[in-house]
Amino acid sequence: MDATFAEALARSLSGIPRGRVATCSTIARALGDVRAARAVATWLREHPETREAHRVVRADGRPVLDSSVALLKKEGASIAVGRVESSSFVDPLPDVAFLGKLREEQRKNAFQVVEEDAGSTQSVTGVDIAYRGDEAYAAAATLDVETLRTVAVASVRTKVGFPYIPGYLAFREMPGIETAVRRLAVPPEAVMIDGHGRLHPALFGVACHAGVRLNVPTIGVAKHPLAGRVDTTQEKETGAHPVRIDGKTRGYAWIPPNREHPIYISVGHRVSLGTALALVKRTTRVGYPEPLRIADRLAEEMKGE
């Protein structure tokens, strides 16, 4: 993708006339997906220097930036009790064709995913990322499958250039994931990603993205659902609930020991769904798979430092 999120957002904001405002949802639709509305607000609060940021408001007319009221009044916007009146709203804004292109890229790349086992696995690498402002702290931890002992770790600190938007996590996390994995002393046999694989609106979540790009078997493990319908009947042979998209089983919802809510497991690349579930269960002691639990701890420790 040629344009960055910041550049696409700037193009959208430039379409708001002086004396008018646009809501975060209006801007998100112009970017290509209304689910980006929260990301727009968060990004502008973290980057208040963005041009025309003062012309962005919430649905109730409150400016996203507290310092915007004086500027908006100066530009002629209608404001009452700290809220811009709806008569000053602009809707729609011109399409800047950003997130739509990213989604099309995901759909195209989904055909590259291989859902067959690449071979036996003696070790599994977990990758997780912690955030603080514009910085990401990525950690990779490789564990022996039999003993669950940590045999290798790697980490990296990177700048964040993309906000969190449901369904577009790979564009935020891949720089950190790729660098951390490539820093491992020994190439990983299989990688667990803290995010979805096939359980994704385009069947190409961050675990698929990582697997195809790095050409390594990957498994998506997520704490919250994103796509698909969970079957209420538990499979006796797996002890998990199938998650189906368009009638096809694309993942499993499984409740680990000492955990109240399920985790969501799906294929990333070069692994079968059955093997993905088996590896997750085999490497989980309590709550969450050990490779991801340790990677999460390392990332949080880096952020704390």
- Tens digit of pLDDT for each residue in 93-123? 999 989 999 999 999 999 999 999 998 899 9
Structural domain that includes position 25: 5-97
Same domain, 124 and 267: yes
pLDDT tens for residues 148-179?
A: 999 999 999 999 999 999 999 999 999 999 99
Same domain, 117 and 141: yes
- Taking CA atoms, 35 is separated from 157, 158, 195, in Å, by 28, 25, 17
Percent of the chain exceeding pLDDT 70 equals 99
DSSP strand pairing (241-245 vs 248-254):
antiparallel
pLDDT at 1: 46
CATH of the domain at 115: 3.30.2170.10
Identify each DSSP E strand in the chain by its residue range.
22-23, 56-57, 79-80, 83-84, 123-132, 135-144, 150-159, 191-194, 218-222, 229-230, 241-245, 248-254, 263-269
Residue ending a domain, choose from 76, 97, 118? 97
Residue 152 lies in a domain: yes
Q: Is residue 62 pLDDT above 70, yes or no? A: yes
Same domain, 256 and 200: yes
Residue ending a domain, choose from 57, 72, 97? 97
Same domain, 238 and 143: yes
pLDDT tens for residues 227-256?
A: 999 999 999 999 999 999 999 999 999 999
Q: Is residue 3 pLDDT above 80, yes or no? A: no
Percentage helix, strand, coil for the chain under 3-state DSSP, each rounded to 5:
35, 25, 40
Place of tokens 């025309």: 52
- Taking CA atoms, 249 is separated from 94, 121, 212, 244, in Å, by 38, 24, 21, 4
Can you read off the two tokens belonging to residue 146?
């039999």
Nearest to 128 by CA among 198, 263, 222: 222
Same domain, 154 and 242: yes
Nearest to 223 by CA among 278, 288, 164: 288
Residue 105 lies in a domain: no
Same domain, 171 and 196: yes
pLDDT at 295: 98
pTM assigned to the model:
0.94
pLDDT at 176: 97
Q: What contacts 153, CB < 8 A, 6 or more positions away?
A: 139, 140, 141, 142, 184, 298
Residue 102 lies in a domain: no
Q: 73 and 80 in contact (C-beta within 8 Å)?
A: no
Q: Is residue 141 pLDDT above 70, yes or no? A: yes
Q: How confident is the model at residue 2 (pLDDT cuts 50, 70, 90)?
A: low
Residue ending a domain, choose from 97, 120, 135? 97
Same domain, 228 and 151: yes
HSE, side-chain direction, 13 A CA sphere, residue 64: 28
Same domain, 193 and 75: no
pLDDT tens for residues 17-36?
A: 999 999 999 999 999 999 99
Same domain, 41 and 81: yes
Same domain, 149 and 284: yes
Residue 260 lies in a domain: yes
Q: Is residue 201 pLDDT above 90, yes or no? A: yes
Q: How many domains does the chain have?
A: 2
Same domain, 77 and 53: yes
Tell which wins on pLDDT, 3 or 190.
190
Same domain, 227 and 283: yes
